Structure 1
Amino acid sequence: MYDRRQFLKAGAALPLLAMFPHRALAAAETDQGITLRAQPGTQQMMPSDLASPTPIWGFDGTVPGPVLRTMAGERLSAVVENGLDQPTSVHWHGIRIDNAMDGVPGLTQEAIAPGGRFVYDFEAPDPGTYWYHSHDRSWEQNARGLHGALIVEEAEPWEGADRDLVLLVDDWRLAEDGSIDDSFGQMMDWSHGGRLGNFVTVNGRSKPRIEVRPNERIRVRLINAANARIMELGLPGTRTWRLALDGMPVPLVEENEPVWLAPAQRTDLLVDILDDETPKTLVLHTNGGPFEIAEFAVTGEPVRASFPEAIGLPRSGPSLPDDLSDAVRAELLMEGGAMGGMAGAMHKGRMMDTRSLVGKGYVWAFNGVADDRGKPLARFAKGQTAVITIRNETGWPHAMHVHGHHFRVLTRNGEPTGDVAMRDTTLTVPDETIEIAFVADNPGKWLLHCHMLEHSASGMMTWFEVA
C-alpha cells in the first residue's frame, strides 16, 4: 500500500513563529468593476529579527490578493492590469465559467502583456469556496504569490455558522535572508514531486493568531494554494464537520481526523470552538511531525451555553445522471517523470526520445504526447455525459484538474468509490486507475492538467472540447 505521507517529500517546515494576523483586504473598485493589479510587493513572512521582508509578486502587491466576494448567480467584473515584466493571466479556479473568461493563454485568450490589461466578466453560478491565480508561467508566478480567494455567497443566506473564516495555506521556498529561492525551472523539481517549499504561511503570514470566542461555530474555508504540496491539515481542540469540497456541498459528516487537500483543492469545514482548556490550532502534518501553522486564541464571553444541532449546506451545483450507459468515454495515460519508464513522446508532431524531451523542458506525457495543444483528448456534444479513465503509470501522485466542470470519481482501480462529491480536482497515486464522470454542458475548449504546476508545465497538459 502506498504511504500517503510519502507525498510530503519536502521535509519539515522551518520553525513557524507568531506574527501578524491577516488583514481583511478589498480590491479597488472602479466603474468597470474590481481592479486587480499584478505587481511586485513585499511581505514580512519570516520574523523581522531573522530576515528582511520577502519580495513577492501579488495582486495589488499583497499575498494573498484581496478576498473577492460575490453572490451566486451574479456577475463579477474584474479588470486585471499587468504590472510585471512578463506576461500573465488569471484563471478563476473551480468556477463553471464562460470559456472566453477561463484565463488560459493559447487556448482561451492571449496572455496579458506587460503594461496591458484584460477585463474578465462572468457569472458565478454556484455558491462555494474558489480561488484565482496566475495561469501563465504559473509554476513561477503562483509560487511568487499571484493568487487569492474567491468566495461565492449563497443567494439565500446560510445561517449555520456564526461567522465565515477564509484560510489560504501556502508553502514557500525561502532563502535564509527571507527572499524567495530563485531556483525555478529545476528538472529535479519538475521530474519529481514539483516545487515544494520549506516555509508555510496562512493568509500570507507565519502562524497568525486568530481570535475566536468560546462556543463559537465558524465556517472555515481552507484553500491549498501551494504549487505542489499535498496538505494534511488538522484542527485539534475543535469539533468539525465537512460541509463542502471544491466549492460543492457534501453530506454533513462529523470529521475530526485531518483532511487531505491536493494542490488547488478547497474544503469548507464547520468548526466548533469548544469551551475547554485544550489548545485550538491549525496543524500541518509532515514527515517531520505535526506543525502548528495558525493559532486560535480563545477570548471573551462564550457565544452560547451549548451548541445547536449542526446543519449542512443546501444542495447546489452540477449533478450526474444515474445511468451512464450512454456516456462518451475517453482514456488518459500518464507517463514519465523520475523512476518512470517513458522512452519518449510526441512533441509538436515529432517523436522525441526522453533525453531530447528533457532538453526542451518536458519530462511527462499524456497518451504519449508532451503538452501538444493541437489535438484535443476528446470532443463532446453539449449535454453529453463524459467518462474519462485516467491511468497513473508514473512513480508520483498527481492532482488532476478539469476546467469549466465539476466531476465525480466513480472508481479507483476498478472498485466503486461510493463518493458522491462533485469536485474539480482529484488526487491519483502511482499505479492507480480512476474513472471520473461529468456532464459536458459548458461549451468551449477546456484544459485538463495536473495541478502540480511543474508537472503541468513539463508535459502533463491536454484539453477537450464541448461543442
Structure 2
Amino acid sequence: MERRQFLGSLAAASLIPRYAFAQNTPQRLLASVHRQQILPASYPDTEMWSFGSTFPGPLLRARQGDRLAIAVENALPQPTAVHWHGLRLDNAMDGVPGVTQQPIPVGGTFDYEFALPDAGTYWYHSHAKSMEQIERGLYGPLIIDESDAPDVDQDITIVVDDIRLEQDGTITGFDNFHDLSHAGRIGNLWLANGQIDPAYPLKRGERVRIRLISAANARVFTLGVQGLEGWVVALDGMPLADPQALPDELVLAPAQRMDLIVDVTTDQNEAFLITFERDGGYAIAHFPVSGPAAAARSGRVILPPNPDYPIDLVQARTATLLIEGGAMGGMRAARVDGEQLDARSLAGRGLFWALNGIAGRPETPLLDLSLGESARIGMANNTAFPHAMHLHGMHFSDVLPDGSLGPLRDTLLLNPQETREIAFQAHNPGNWLFHCHMLAHHQAGMGTWIRVSA
C-alpha cells in the first residue's frame, strides 16, 4: 500500500508521559495477543503480539542508579524472552535463549532484576524468533533518566518502525527466503510509536528532548527534522562529550538510538520529522506549533557522562570478522556445527550468511577475554547489503583512521564492501552475543559471541 493512502488518516497520538511509572517500573509485564488499529479506521485492525496489550509496549522509565525488577509472563502461542537492548547489565538478565536463559515457555514467567548504572535511551524487545516476534509488536521503549536531567520543556520518545501489512490488516508470513538472503524484512508502512504520522504539540521557543529509537526489522532510516534547531547529544544511550549540530540527515540503523535536544525555531505552524525515501521525503511524525515566541535558551546542552571503561588500544586483544553470504555475492560453503556444507545444503536449512566461514552461532567464542582486557575487532562486509552489528552487554567505539576513538555505541552500521574496526573494554563478565540486527540476517546465520571471564 502507498504511503500517501495513510497520511493524516489517524488521530494524533498523545504525548508519552514524562514519568510513565513515576519512580517504579511495573512489577508485571504480560506478553500476549491483542488487536490494534494500525491502518486507517476504514481498514480492518491487526492482530499484534505485544507487551501490556499495547503496541509499542508501555514506556518503562526509571532513574539512573535504580533497579529494574519485573516479572515477564508469557501468554503468547510461542516461547519468548526479553532483551534489554543497550543496557550494561548482569549477564543472566540479558534475555537471550540458549545463551543466558531458557526461553519463557507458553504460560511461564521469568523474573528479571538488575541495576541501572547508565542513563540514556534504550529499548526492550523479544529475543526469541526475533524477526517474527519483533515484527508482530514485541518491543517497547526504556528510558533511564539522569540524576541531573537537562533543562527541557518536553521529553518526547519516538520509536520509528516499518511493518509489512496486507490490506486486510494481517501481517504477512515469515518463511520468505528473499528476506533471509537479501536486505532483510522491509515493511510497506512507516510508523512512529505504532501510528501513522502522529502529532506532538510544541510551543514556539520551547527546548525539547527528542529520543529516537529504531525498532525496524531491517530498514535503515534516513531521517530529517524541519522547523527545529539543535544538537545530537547522545548515541545508543551514551552521551556525546562534544554534541554535534543537528545535520540535515540522521541515519538510524535497526536498533540504534539517537537523542536530540532542539529548540522550536520555526515561524510556521508545524515542524516535521521526515523519512527520506527513494522518491522523496515524507512526514513520519509532525509537531503542531502554537503560541507566541518565548525567550529562547542559549547554548548547547552536554549530558552528564555515564561510567567510563577506558580502552587500551596498544595492549588490546585482536580478532577479525569476515561477513560473507547473501544474494548477489553468495558463499560457496560454510561450517555448521563443525560440518562443512555447500550453498544448496545451507539454503535448505535457511542459512545464507556466515561470519568467518561459520553459519550460526559457533561453539567457541570469537574472543575469550579476561575481565578488564581491551579488545579490537576488525570487520569486513564482503556482501552486497548493509549490516547493523550489535554487541550485547558492553558498548564499543569505532577506531577512526587517525587512531582515535569515536563515540560509544552498541550497534554499528557496516555498509556493503566496507571495513571498520571497533574497540571496547571487557568490563562485564559473561557470554555476550554479537550479531547482525537485521533480524533476518541473524536468523539466517549472522551471529557469534564473546566470552568475558571474571
Which category of TM-score, normalised to the shorter sequence, fits these structures? over 0.9
- Matched residue SS, 1:142: helix
Which segment is superposed worse, 33-42 or 238-247? 33-42
CA shift in 2, pair 1:19/1:199, >3 Å: same
Q: 1:156 aligns with which of 124, 134, 148?
A: 148
1:5 aligned residue: none
Give the CA deviation at 1:240: 2.4
CA shift in 2, pair 1:187/1:217, >3 Å: same
Deviation per CA, 1:163-212: give whole Å up to 9, x if none.
2100011101010122222x213110110000000101111111112111
Give the CA deviation at 1:28: 8.7
The letter of the residue matching 1:466 is V
Separation in 2, partners of 1:76, 1:240: 32
CA shift in 2, pair 1:239/1:18, >3 Å: farther
CA shift in 2, pair 1:60/1:335, >3 Å: same
Correspondence 1:461 to 2:451: no
Correspondence 1:340 to 2:329: yes
2:55 aligned residue: 63
2:420 aligned residue: 434
Separation in 1, partners of 2:402, 2:187: 35
Separation in 1, partners of 2:404, 2:278: 30
Structure 2: give runs of 5+ residues left out of the alignment.
Answer: none
CA shift in 2, pair 1:253/1:394, >3 Å: same
Correspondence 1:384 to 2:384: no
The letter of the residue matching 1:382 is L
Separation in 1, partners of 2:168, 2:176: 21
Correspondence 1:375 to 2:364: yes
Give the 5 Å matches for 1:318-333: 318-321=308-311, 323-333=312-322
Correspondence 1:424 to 2:399: no
Separation in 2, partners of 1:441, 1:224: 26
CA shift in 2, pair 1:19/1:216, >3 Å: same
Contact 1:240-1:255 within 8 A present in 2 as well: yes
Correspondence 1:449 to 2:435: yes
Q: 1:312 aligns with which of 302, 315, 332?
A: 302
Q: 1:40 aligns with which of 30, 33, 38?
A: 33
Separation in 1, partners of 2:276, 2:413: 18
Give the 5 Å matches for 1:30-179: 34-49=27-42, 51-159=43-151, 161-179=152-170
Matched-pair identity in %: 45
- Matched residue SS, 2:147: coil
Separation in 1, partners of 2:3, 2:220: 13
1:287 aligned residue: 278
CA shift in 2, pair 1:432/1:74, >3 Å: same
- Matched residue SS, 1:140: helix
Q: 2:290 aligns with which of 292, 296, 299?
A: 299
The Cα RMSD (Å) is 2.0
Separation in 1, partners of 2:271, 2:361: 48
Contact 2:207-2:261 within 8 A present in 1 as well: yes
Q: What is the total number of aligned residue pairs between the two structures?
A: 449
Contact 2:231-2:245 within 8 A present in 1 as well: yes
What TM-score, normalized by structure 1, do the two folds share? 0.92
Contact 2:430-2:452 within 8 A present in 1 as well: yes
Give the CA deviation at 1:239: 0.7
Separation in 2, partners of 1:28, 1:213: 26
Contact 2:261-2:301 within 8 A present in 1 as well: no
1:263 aligned residue: 254
Give the CA deviation at 1:11: 9.2
Contact 1:27-1:35 within 8 A present in 2 as well: no
The letter of the residue matching 2:345 is S
What TM-score, normalized by structure 2, do the two folds share? 0.95
Contact 2:370-2:426 within 8 A present in 1 as well: yes
Separation in 2, partners of 1:454, 1:150: 24
Give the CA deviation at 1:44: 1.2
The letter of the residue matching 2:163 is W
Give the CA deviation at 1:305: 2.5
Structure 1: give runs of 5+ residues left out of the alignment.
Answer: 1-9
The letter of the residue matching 1:297 is P
